[in-house]
Each structure stands twice: as structure tokens, then as C-alpha cells.
Amino acid sequence: MSAEQPARYVVRIGVRSYEMDVNGHVNHAVYHQYAEHARMEHLRAAGLSQHALGDHGLTVVLLSTTVHFRAELRHGDELEIDSEMAFTDRKPFTMRHRIVRVADGDGAPAKDVAAEAECTMGVLDTTARRLVADPHGRLAAAAAAPALLGPGPS
């Protein structure tokens, strides 16, 4: 991983039957949940579980999210959801996710981008109830595996 490239983290999940809508494909709100799952697993892998963040008086908050839907997902599809973090010199930072179908419900290989999500995040000081400056630095100081956060602001 070079200093210019964000750290990329990937989780794999299967589409469950209860995530379907009346049209027989994944409900739009579930795509947000898939992105949330990838975000939380990315942070956990870096050593930033809710408990670990709390030990440092911090939590990560979602400020806004946008999902662009590209393809339908159906019950049984296998997905890979990636997560990348990008920091600037501002308090908010960005996490981007791609939701990719890697196998259909019958197990046939696929490589379809089903959705792309972009989330604006912040690191909240739980005592002051304010976003912290230098979120990358604060997260890196608390992380067991700070390399998974990617580079700080350039």
C-alpha cells in the first residue's frame, strides 16, 4: 500500500431472504446496512471496536450517506463489500463502499457492481460532544492496526 492509496478492507456476506422487498430484490434500505456492516468491520479490524473507541473517549458517527444503485440483488447472491477511508485536513472524513455480487443465488460466478455508497463520517469526542480535529490522527492513536485506516491527510 502506497501513501497515495487508501487502505481497502473487504467483507463477504450472503443476501438473506428477509432482505427482499415486494419486487423480489433487496430492499433499498438494506444497501445502507451492507455499507454500515463493512464500515464497522473495517474499524473493528483496525482495532477500533465501539469498546476500544470508548476507552479513548471517542466514537465514530455517520454525518451523511448517499447510495447509487447499479444492479438488483436477489436472495442467495454472494456479495463482497469493500470499504476505503479518505481523510483531508477537515474534521469530517469519507468512507466509500462498493457492493459487488461475486456469485449469484445458484453459485455461478459474477462480478457485478450492485451499488456504490459514499459516507461522510466524523470522530466524536464523547465528553465534549463535538467532532475532533485530526480524525485520522485520533483514530490512528487508538487503533491496534492503524495501517488499515490508510494515509492521513495529504
Residue 112: per-residue pLDDT: 94
How confident is the model over 61-87, as a mean pLDDT?
97
Residue 154: per-residue pLDDT: 75
Sequence-distant (≥ 6) Cβ neighbours of residue 28 within 8 angstroms:
21, 67, 69
CATH architecture of 8-143: Roll (3.10)
Give φ, ψ of 34 to 5 degrees. Answer: -60, -45
Task: Give me the helices (H) in the chain, please.
Answer: 28-45, 50-55, 135-142
Domain boundaries, the chain: 8-143
On whether the pTM is more than 0.85, the answer is yes
Residue 94: per-residue pLDDT: 97
Residue 7: per-residue pLDDT: 80
- Asked if residue 29 lies in contact with residue 111, where contact means CB atoms within 8 angstroms, the answer is no
Task: State the chain's mean pLDDT as an integer.
Answer: 94
